[in-house]
Chain A
Amino acid sequence: MSAPIISVDTVRKVYGEKVAVDDVSFAMPPDAILGLLGPNGAGKTSLIRMITTITAPDSGKIYFNGEPLSGYHPTQIGYLPEERGLYKKMYVGEHLLYLARLKGLSKADATTRAKDWLEKFGLDNQWDRKVEELSKGMQQQVQFIATVIHDPKLLILDEPFSGLDPVNATRMRKEILRLHAAGTGIIFSTHRMEQVEELCEYIVLINNGAKILEGKVADIRRRFQDDKYHLEFEGELPAKLGERYELLNPTPAGVDIQLKDGQKANDLLRLLLDNDVHIVGFQELLPSLNEVFIKQVTQLDPTNTNPFDTSE
């Protein structure tokens, strides 16, 4: 098996008093989009800046395809920062050429690719327009093109959907998935957990600079399942049910049931059947990543209640 595109080995970064990244290690899984998750200020951007060689770790190492990260690697990486923009006074075509050539493409090569990409996004007649004349959505598309124009082996997207309208978000999601299918490694960094669940199969959760959880999304959710079931029914529920089990969010047609230690789902079902409840649906409730995260954080540090109260 070949080396992972990126592997991070006990990397640490300190800014003054603040430990921005605290001995984090992980490796890109093959064939999966990696979700880098954590609240604002968790250290995601600090970590990404080290992977993109903008900054260097205080200690620890980062490997690109098994080689230690070097000055050559930025040409293999496409980075869409959270704080992103364009030179307002430049022309679209010229701007794309500039950024592409900084990534090591020849002028001719950069021209063909820029034209192809613009065409793909329906922007082929924008070549000679100034960036400041474009709509915000178009500018975002140009930014995305600039990120992928040099065919990077690794694509790092920091909050790529922030500020995107639904049409553009869908288009970008489609492009991301296409690039992923074509073999590009993708790191997707965000504090919006629900976006991760749509795109990523593998996540690394960080909080306060430290990695607190890593693994496949499905595995993690299963690991954090806490005996909660959702029941859909018709008719009345027997009173006995409420006495024996904890009922959550009851509605006329459904209820969530929390099992306590020692209680089994089969016993619950048996009780329902014995009481002639008309069961429409019964399914185990897996926690959302949001809940997983909160659980894990409070478990590690009981004083920290909800790190996501800063969410936008």
Chain B
Amino acid sequence: MTNLWLVIQREYLTRVRRKSFILATLLMPLGMAVFIVVVQFIFTYGNDEQQRIAVVDEDGIFNNVLPDSKNIYFKFRQDPLETLKANMADDTSYNAILVVPSVRNPRAKDFRVEYFSDEPLALDTELAISRRVEKAMRKYKTRALELDERAIAALETDVDIKARKVTVAEGEDDDTSMAGIIGAGLGSIMGFMMYLSIFIYGMMVMRSVMEEKMNRIVEVVISSVRPTTLLLGKIVGVGAVGLTQVVAWMILIPGVLFLVSLIFGFDPEATQQMQAGSAASQIDPDEMQSMIERAISGLDEMNWWVIIPCFLIYFLAGYFMYAAMFAAIGSAMGDDMGEGQSLTLVVILPVILGFYIMMAALQAPNSSLAVGSSFMPLFAPIVMPARLPFGPPAWQIVGSLLITIAFAAFMVWLAGRIYRVGILSYGKKSTLKDMMGWVFSKY
């Protein structure tokens, strides 16, 4: 027990104080902040070239009104098109001409305007022009067809589905409208965290095993510590390193984002608008308010007493399971890292498969694929956390947990069997078949 503690301490301390660890922990949030700032910059950059467009509107259907948009200025001209074209090179007040033809049939859906310029039409200019013209046409058509503006507005309906539970426990809100969205969000965060942790820290355990083998220190150590103790100490120690890093990030990332928003005037709404396009910007504040309220109440409704402990157990079991597998493979590798790459595939493949199943499970948390994978211990730690917010039946949670825990324990045992032989076999490349042999070899 003392030795296990010593091993954990060493694994933890020597890693945490490494420059590479400190840099990664600090630079990752900074990198993220820089990334966000840069991405925001790129997206808002757009076209800074000024477009001055002369508009020829012979029939005056736009009433001389076409609102300017960013860097695009419309100027109605009475000159005939040919004059404008001829003068374009000398007249600096415009660099493009937009010709709006007369409207023969106000009921026609298609409408074509002509754009004259020696420069090719940029994509965002094209979008801006067509948007302006569409709006202007709408006004014109409403007038021409003598329609009621309010009646047209009434044609559009926002449909909102209020989902309610049928069997309601006492004191429970029957509103489940937000559960799907919140569940998907929460589930994807948890599933993704599992996936990343398995990869980053599982690999770290593997490298640690290989390093000990290559440094030739391992035989000295196992002459005083049982190999299983060493393996366990390694997994726990590296796990603690991972936890430290994740906690540091959880504090640093929001902190850095906050700072960045202060310094660069970063406006989260702006990004949202960019991503969602113009549709999102049209949500009126009242609706936004009620959505946020419902989201909060939806979060409130989440069964945190089930989700958090279950997530932690899956997290630990998943980490132990995969870290043990990585350790076993690390112990079997020769001195040449490249040689063993194909072996790591055995572990990486199920992780990636699990990740894709998780994505599918977010769409349909109760599909037979999702339910089935919850009972496959290699996938369960990745898939099940994503399903938890959707409130899967208790028997599935319990069954999946039991299978996962049992399998994780089995994996640690199995890895221990492989590890104790692997770390002492120098020089030769080991195959999966060899490793299976080691499991059953006497000690």
Contact = CB atoms under 8 A, between A and B. Distances in A.
- Which of A16, A53, A71, A102: most chain B CB closer than 10 A? A102
Interface string B195-228: 0000000000000000010011101111111100
A86 B222 contact: no
B224 A103 contact: yes
B3 interface: yes
A83 B426 contact: yes
B217 A87 contact: yes
Contact of B223 (A52, A85, A87, A143): A52
Contact of A88 (B2, B215, B424, B426): B215
A54 interface: yes
Interface in A68-115: 71, 74-75, 77, 79-81, 83-90, 98-99, 101-104
A146 interface: yes
Given A83-B426, A85-B217, A88-B215, A99 B14 contact: no
B220 A90 contact: no
B85 interface: no
B3 A54 contact: no
B232 to A, nearest CB: 14
B220 A54 contact: no
Interface stretch (B163-171, B322-330, B435-443): B435-443
A86 B215 contact: yes
Interface of B: 2-3, 6-7, 10, 14, 18, 212, 215-217, 219-226, 424, 426, 437, 441-443
Contacts of A56: 442-443
Contacts of B216: 81, 83-85
Given A54-B424, A84-B217, A85-B220, 18 more contacts: A49-B424, A52-B223, A55-B443, A71-B226, A75-B224, A83-B216, A83-B219, A84-B220, A85-B215, A86-B215, A86-B217, A89-B14, A98-B10, A99-B220, A99-B221, A101-B2, A102-B224, A143-B220
Nearest to B7: A102
Contacts of A85: 215-217, 220
A84 B223 contact: no
Interface string A107-142: 000000000000000000000000000000000000
B443 A79 contact: no
A56 to B, nearest CB: 6
A102 B221 contact: yes
B225 A102 contact: yes
Nearest to A87: B217
A248 B327 CA distance: 60
17 contacts: A15-B441, A53-B223, A54-B424, A55-B443, A56-B443, A71-B226, A74-B223, A80-B220, A81-B219, A83-B426, A84-B216, A87-B212, A87-B215, A88-B215, A101-B6, A102-B6, A102-B7
A77 B6 contact: no
A104 B10 CA distance: 16
A87 B219 contact: no
B424 A98 contact: no
Contacts of B443: 55-56
A102 B220 CA distance: 11
Interface in A46-65: 49, 52-56, 58
A71 B224 CA distance: 9
A55 to B, nearest CB: 6
B14 A54 contact: no
B173 to A, nearest CB: 55
A89 B18 contact: yes
Interface centre among B14, B219, B441, B443 (most CB of A within 10 A): B219
A146 B424 contact: no
B224 A90 contact: no
Nearest to A91: B14
Given A75-B224, A102-B225, A84 B219 contact: yes
A225 to B, nearest CB: 39
Interface of A: 15-16, 49, 52-56, 58, 71, 74-75, 77, 79-81, 83-90, 98-99, 101-104, 143, 146-147
A77 B223 contact: yes
A146 B223 contact: no
Nearest to B426: A83
Nearest to B434: A16
Most chain B CB atoms below 10 A, which of A49, A53, A85: A85
B24 to A, nearest CB: 16
Given A54-B223, A85-B215, A146-B220, A90 B3 contact: no
Residue from B7, B212, B442, B443 whose CB has the most chain A CB atoms within 10 Å = B442
Nearest to B10: A98
Contacts of A15: 441
A146 B217 CA distance: 11
Contacts of A86: 215, 217
Given A56-B443, A101-B6, A79 B215 contact: no
A53 B222 CA distance: 9
A99 B215 contact: no
Nearest to A100: B224
Contacts of B18: 89
A228 to B, nearest CB: 41
A26 to B, nearest CB: 20
Contacts of B221: 99, 102
Contacts of A101: 2, 6
B224 A81 contact: no
B222 A98 contact: no
A170 B223 CA distance: 26
B213 to A, nearest CB: 9
A80 B220 CA distance: 7
A52 B10 CA distance: 23
A52 B224 CA distance: 8
Given A101-B6, A102-B3, A81 B220 contact: yes
B418 to A, nearest CB: 15
B82 to A, nearest CB: 80
A74 B224 contact: yes
B434 to A, nearest CB: 10
A58 B442 CA distance: 8
A79 B220 CA distance: 7
Contacts of A49: 424
A54 B220 CA distance: 10
Nearest to A15: B441
A156 to B, nearest CB: 9
A16 B215 contact: no
A194 B221 CA distance: 30
B6 A98 contact: yes
B14 A87 contact: yes
Contacts of B212: 87
B437 A16 contact: yes
Contacts of A16: 437, 441
B420 to A, nearest CB: 8
Contacts of B426: 83
